[in-house]
Copies of this chain bind each other. A is one copy, B any other.
Amino acid sequence: MEQYEHTCMIRGDGGRAIRGILDRICDKWTMLIVATLDEGRMRFTHLHQHIPGISQRMLTLTLRNLERDGLVSRTAYAEVPPRVEYALTDRGKSLIPPALALARWAIEHSNDIQASRDTYDTQDG
């Protein structure tokens, strides 16, 4: 009820802070990669296989961005063939709870939202 006083956090500086984060979190693959890495440290190929539909290019690009933001660590071993492992940093792990909160909301409301969309779309056009 009294949450309104806190939504200024979202509107804050015209929304720049929150949007800067959302831009990272909400692209097509970030959430999926973070959630997958929550399972533990993992090689490139393993990630590639466990995230259906992602291309090599997008996996690389998204991992680079996550690394840049300090959410994921990258460890390359000097072997042949090469081995590279990715893992969530503490900062990356700290993203999981709020992400879960959003996921929970999404799951809980997805049926209702879909129903609303269907209704809206079939109104006489």
A residues contacting B by CB (< 8 A) are 3-4, 6-12, 14-15, 17-26, 28, 31-32, 34-36, 38-39, 51-53, 67-71, 91, 94-107, 109-110, 112-113, 116-117, 120-121
Contacts and interface: CB of A to CB of B under 8 A. Distances in A.
Given A9-B103, A68-B116, 14 more contacts: A3-B38, A7-B35, A8-B35, A9-B107, A11-B35, A15-B31, A15-B32, A20-B106, A21-B106, A21-B109, A22-B106, A68-B120, A91-B109, A91-B112
Q: Is the interface of A mostly helix, strand, loop or mixed?
A: helix
A22 B9 CA distance: 19
A104 B9 contact: yes
A94 B110 contact: no
B20 A110 contact: yes
Contacts of A69: 113, 116-117
Nearest to A118: B68
A26 B28 contact: no
A25 B94 contact: no
